[in-house]
Protein backbone atom coordinates (compact mmCIF):
# COMPACT_ATOMS: atom_id res chain seq x y z
CA UNK A 1 0.00 0.00 0.00
CA UNK A 2 1.03 3.55 -0.61
CA UNK A 3 2.30 5.72 2.21
CA UNK A 4 3.26 9.36 2.56
CA UNK A 5 5.84 10.80 4.92
CA UNK A 6 5.99 14.42 5.94
CA UNK A 7 9.05 14.62 8.13
CA UNK A 8 8.40 18.07 9.55
CA UNK A 9 5.37 18.48 11.79
CA UNK A 10 5.96 22.20 12.12
CA UNK A 11 8.02 24.70 10.14
CA UNK A 12 8.47 28.18 11.61
CA UNK A 13 9.63 30.83 9.16
CA UNK A 14 9.82 34.59 9.00
CA UNK A 15 7.72 36.55 6.56
CA UNK A 16 9.31 36.99 3.11
CA UNK A 17 11.72 34.10 3.72
CA UNK A 18 11.75 31.02 1.48
CA UNK A 19 10.30 27.75 2.68
CA UNK A 20 10.36 24.08 1.71
CA UNK A 21 7.92 21.51 3.06
CA UNK A 22 9.13 17.98 2.50
CA UNK A 23 7.10 15.03 1.29
CA UNK A 24 8.20 11.51 0.42
CA UNK A 25 5.98 8.72 -0.82
CA UNK A 26 6.35 4.98 -1.22
CA UNK A 27 7.14 3.82 -4.70
CA UNK A 28 4.52 2.73 -7.17
CA UNK A 29 4.23 2.09 -10.88
CA UNK A 30 1.82 4.92 -11.40
CA UNK A 31 1.45 7.74 -8.91
CA UNK A 32 -0.56 10.89 -8.65
CA UNK A 33 0.53 13.44 -6.05
CA UNK A 34 -1.20 16.34 -4.38
CA UNK A 35 -0.67 19.12 -1.90
CA UNK A 36 -3.67 20.32 0.07
CA UNK A 37 -3.85 23.26 2.49
CA UNK A 38 -6.09 23.58 5.52
CA UNK A 39 -6.67 26.97 7.10
CA UNK A 40 -7.94 27.08 10.70
CA UNK A 41 -11.48 25.77 11.12
CA UNK A 42 -11.85 25.08 7.43
CA UNK A 43 -11.83 22.07 5.14
CA UNK A 44 -8.96 21.23 2.84
CA UNK A 45 -8.28 23.03 -0.42
CA UNK A 46 -6.24 21.67 -3.30
CA UNK A 47 -3.03 23.65 -3.70
CA UNK A 48 -1.49 21.81 -6.64
CA UNK A 49 -1.30 18.36 -8.21
CA UNK A 50 0.96 16.20 -10.32
CA UNK A 51 -0.76 13.76 -12.64
CA UNK A 52 1.68 13.56 -15.57
CA UNK A 53 3.80 15.72 -17.83
CA UNK A 54 6.08 18.43 -16.47
CA UNK A 55 7.59 17.46 -13.13
CA UNK A 56 7.35 21.03 -11.87
CA UNK A 57 3.83 22.14 -10.99
CA UNK A 58 2.78 25.55 -9.74
CA UNK A 59 -0.13 27.06 -7.85
CA UNK A 60 -1.73 30.43 -8.42
CA UNK A 61 -0.41 31.83 -5.13
CA UNK A 62 3.28 31.24 -5.71
CA UNK A 63 3.82 27.72 -4.41
CA UNK A 64 5.51 25.10 -6.55
CA UNK A 65 6.31 21.42 -6.16
CA UNK A 66 8.63 19.14 -8.07
CA UNK A 67 7.97 15.48 -8.69
CA UNK A 68 11.22 13.56 -8.30
CA UNK A 69 10.70 9.93 -9.22
CA UNK A 70 14.21 8.75 -8.33
CA UNK A 71 13.95 10.20 -4.84
CA UNK A 72 10.22 9.49 -4.51
CA UNK A 73 9.69 13.04 -3.34
CA UNK A 74 7.23 15.85 -3.98
CA UNK A 75 8.54 18.78 -1.93
CA UNK A 76 6.59 22.02 -1.75
CA UNK A 77 8.42 25.33 -2.03
CA UNK A 78 7.72 29.03 -1.98
CA UNK A 79 10.42 31.66 -2.49
CA UNK A 80 8.80 34.26 -0.23
CA UNK A 81 6.05 33.50 2.29
CA UNK A 82 3.36 35.78 3.67
CA UNK A 83 1.58 35.81 7.00
CA UNK A 84 -1.52 34.58 5.17
CA UNK A 85 0.31 31.37 4.21
CA UNK A 86 0.08 30.21 7.82
CA UNK A 87 -1.84 26.95 7.62
CA UNK A 88 -1.41 23.19 7.72
CA UNK A 89 -0.19 21.59 4.53
CA UNK A 90 -0.91 17.99 3.60
CA UNK A 91 0.82 15.91 0.98
CA UNK A 92 -1.29 13.13 -0.53
CA UNK A 93 -0.95 10.28 -3.00
CA UNK A 94 -3.49 8.36 -4.99
CA UNK A 95 -3.59 4.86 -3.62
CA UNK A 96 -4.89 3.02 -6.64
CA UNK A 97 -3.42 4.69 -9.69
CA UNK A 98 -6.35 7.02 -9.99
CA UNK A 99 -9.11 4.44 -10.29
CA UNK A 100 -10.97 6.11 -7.43
CA UNK A 101 -10.68 9.27 -5.38
CA UNK A 102 -9.12 7.52 -2.40
CA UNK A 103 -6.13 9.55 -1.24
CA UNK A 104 -3.48 8.62 1.32
CA UNK A 105 -2.51 11.71 3.29
CA UNK A 106 0.63 12.52 5.18
CA UNK A 107 0.42 13.68 8.76
CA UNK A 108 0.64 17.33 7.79
CA UNK A 109 3.11 20.18 8.27
CA UNK A 110 2.10 23.30 10.11
CA UNK A 111 3.64 26.32 8.41
CA UNK A 112 3.89 29.12 10.95
CA UNK A 113 4.85 32.42 9.36
CA UNK A 114 6.10 35.01 11.80
CA UNK A 115 6.35 38.77 11.18
CA UNK B 1 -21.52 28.00 -7.31
CA UNK B 2 -22.29 26.58 -3.87
CA UNK B 3 -19.55 24.58 -2.19
CA UNK B 4 -19.76 21.29 -0.34
CA UNK B 5 -22.19 21.55 2.55
CA UNK B 6 -21.97 19.35 5.60
CA UNK B 7 -24.51 19.14 8.38
CA UNK B 8 -24.48 19.30 11.28
CA UNK B 9 -21.28 21.25 11.86
CA UNK B 10 -20.98 20.28 15.50
CA UNK B 11 -22.55 17.55 17.55
CA UNK B 12 -22.10 15.84 20.87
CA UNK B 13 -23.10 12.24 21.48
CA UNK B 14 -22.58 9.69 24.22
CA UNK B 15 -21.03 6.26 23.93
CA UNK B 16 -23.33 3.67 22.44
CA UNK B 17 -25.43 6.13 20.48
CA UNK B 18 -25.44 6.40 16.73
CA UNK B 19 -24.97 9.41 14.49
CA UNK B 20 -25.80 10.34 10.90
CA UNK B 21 -23.85 13.00 9.04
CA UNK B 22 -24.96 14.57 5.80
CA UNK B 23 -23.05 15.91 2.82
CA UNK B 24 -24.37 17.85 -0.17
CA UNK B 25 -21.79 17.90 -2.97
CA UNK B 26 -21.19 20.61 -5.51
CA UNK B 27 -23.81 20.56 -8.23
CA UNK B 28 -22.77 18.19 -11.02
CA UNK B 29 -20.31 16.24 -8.88
CA UNK B 30 -21.04 12.53 -8.79
CA UNK B 31 -18.33 11.36 -6.42
CA UNK B 32 -18.47 11.84 -2.67
CA UNK B 33 -15.67 10.73 -0.36
CA UNK B 34 -15.56 10.73 3.42
CA UNK B 35 -12.48 11.20 5.59
CA UNK B 36 -11.93 11.10 9.33
CA UNK B 37 -9.45 13.61 10.76
CA UNK B 38 -8.00 13.20 14.25
CA UNK B 39 -4.88 14.65 15.90
CA UNK B 40 -3.42 11.18 16.41
CA UNK B 41 -4.22 9.43 13.14
CA UNK B 42 -4.44 12.39 10.78
CA UNK B 43 -6.65 12.11 7.73
CA UNK B 44 -7.96 8.65 7.01
CA UNK B 45 -10.13 7.57 4.11
CA UNK B 46 -13.48 6.10 5.08
CA UNK B 47 -15.23 5.43 1.76
CA UNK B 48 -16.15 6.84 -1.62
CA UNK B 49 -19.46 6.75 -3.42
CA UNK B 50 -19.93 7.28 -7.11
CA UNK B 51 -23.34 7.18 -8.77
CA UNK B 52 -24.90 5.63 -5.66
CA UNK B 53 -22.34 2.79 -5.52
CA UNK B 54 -19.54 2.40 -3.01
CA UNK B 55 -16.40 2.52 -5.12
CA UNK B 56 -13.78 2.14 -2.40
CA UNK B 57 -13.61 1.57 1.33
CA UNK B 58 -10.98 2.26 3.96
CA UNK B 59 -9.98 0.17 6.94
CA UNK B 60 -12.73 1.05 9.36
CA UNK B 61 -15.02 -1.31 11.26
CA UNK B 62 -18.50 -2.12 10.04
CA UNK B 63 -19.95 0.41 12.48
CA UNK B 64 -19.08 2.99 9.86
CA UNK B 65 -21.39 2.96 6.87
CA UNK B 66 -22.56 5.30 4.19
CA UNK B 67 -24.80 5.72 1.23
CA UNK B 68 -25.41 8.02 -1.67
CA UNK B 69 -28.71 9.12 -3.09
CA UNK B 70 -29.72 9.69 -6.69
CA UNK B 71 -29.10 13.44 -6.33
CA UNK B 72 -25.50 12.63 -5.22
CA UNK B 73 -26.11 13.72 -1.65
CA UNK B 74 -24.43 11.38 0.78
CA UNK B 75 -24.83 10.33 4.38
CA UNK B 76 -22.54 8.45 6.67
CA UNK B 77 -23.62 6.66 9.79
CA UNK B 78 -21.66 5.55 12.81
CA UNK B 79 -23.37 3.14 15.14
CA UNK B 80 -22.47 2.18 18.70
CA UNK B 81 -20.27 5.21 19.15
CA UNK B 82 -16.96 4.89 20.98
CA UNK B 83 -14.83 7.60 22.54
CA UNK B 84 -12.27 7.12 19.78
CA UNK B 85 -14.82 8.13 17.17
CA UNK B 86 -14.46 11.74 18.26
CA UNK B 87 -13.11 13.46 15.18
CA UNK B 88 -13.68 15.91 12.39
CA UNK B 89 -15.48 14.13 9.57
CA UNK B 90 -14.78 15.65 6.20
CA UNK B 91 -16.74 15.12 3.04
CA UNK B 92 -15.24 15.80 -0.37
CA UNK B 93 -16.87 15.85 -3.76
CA UNK B 94 -15.47 15.64 -7.27
CA UNK B 95 -16.59 15.03 -10.81
CA UNK B 96 -15.49 11.41 -10.40
CA UNK B 97 -13.68 10.72 -13.64
CA UNK B 98 -11.23 7.92 -14.20
CA UNK B 99 -8.23 9.95 -13.05
CA UNK B 100 -8.13 11.63 -9.65
CA UNK B 101 -9.30 15.16 -9.96
CA UNK B 102 -9.59 17.95 -7.56
CA UNK B 103 -11.39 17.09 -4.34
CA UNK B 104 -13.56 19.84 -2.94
CA UNK B 105 -13.87 19.53 0.81
CA UNK B 106 -16.59 20.74 3.09
CA UNK B 107 -15.81 22.37 6.43
CA UNK B 108 -16.55 19.16 8.26
CA UNK B 109 -18.76 17.84 11.01
CA UNK B 110 -17.04 17.83 14.37
CA UNK B 111 -18.23 14.91 16.45
CA UNK B 112 -17.53 14.68 20.15
CA UNK B 113 -18.32 11.43 21.91
CA UNK B 114 -18.62 11.59 25.70
pLDDT at residue A99, as a whole number:
74
pLDDT tier at A27 (50, 70, 90 boundaries)? Answer: low
A105 → closest Cβ in B4, B43, B104: B43
pLDDT at residue B3, as a whole number:
92
pLDDT at residue A53, as a whole number:
86
**Chain-wide mean pLDDT for chain A?**
91
* Low-confidence residues of chain B: pLDDT under 70: 1, 98-99, 101
pLDDT at residue B96, as a whole number:
75
Indicate the pairing of strand A109-114 with strand A10-14. parallel
pLDDT at residue B5, as a whole number:
97
Mean pLDDT on A6-32 = 91
pLDDT at residue B111, as a whole number:
98
Tens-place pLDDT, residues A40-74: 888 899 999 998 888 899 998 899 999 998 999 99
CA A38 to chain centre: 11
Chain B residues whose C-beta sits inside 8 Å of any chain A C-beta? 4, 31, 33, 35, 42-45, 48, 50, 55-56, 58, 90, 92, 94, 96, 98-108
pLDDT at residue B99, as a whole number:
63
Q: Is the pLDDT of residue A29 over 70?
A: no
CA distances from A8 to A75, A88, A90, A109 (A): 12, 11, 11, 6
Distance, CA of B27 to CA of A14 (rounded, Å): 40
Distance, CA of A77 to CA of A17 (rounded, Å): 11
Contact B100 A105 (CB under 8 A): no
Residues from chain A contacting residue B42 (CB–CB below 8 Å): 105-108
pLDDT at residue B53, as a whole number:
94
Neighbouring CB atoms inside 10 A of B84's CB total: 10
- 8 A C-beta contact, residue A29 and residue A99: no
Q: Which of residues A42 and A22 earns the better pLDDT score?
A: A22
A100 → closest Cβ in B42, B43, B56: B56
CA A91 to chain centre: 4
Of B82, B86, B75, the residue nearest B38 (C-alpha)? B86
Distance, CA of B91 to CA of B48 (rounded, Å): 10
pLDDT at residue B59, as a whole number:
93
pLDDT at residue A101, as a whole number:
83
Contact B100 A32 (CB under 8 A): yes
**Chain-wide mean pLDDT for chain B?**
93
DSSP H helix total and E strand total for chain B? 0, 11
User: What is the share, in percent, of chain A residues with pLDDT greater than 90?
Assistant: 71
Amino acid sequence: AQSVTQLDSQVPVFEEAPVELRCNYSSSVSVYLFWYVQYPNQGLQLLLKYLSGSTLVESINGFEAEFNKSQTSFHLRKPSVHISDTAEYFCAVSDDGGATNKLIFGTGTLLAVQP
Amino acid sequence: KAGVTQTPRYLIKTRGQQVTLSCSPISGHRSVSWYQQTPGQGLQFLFEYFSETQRNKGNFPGRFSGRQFSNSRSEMNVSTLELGDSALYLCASSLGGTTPGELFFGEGSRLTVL
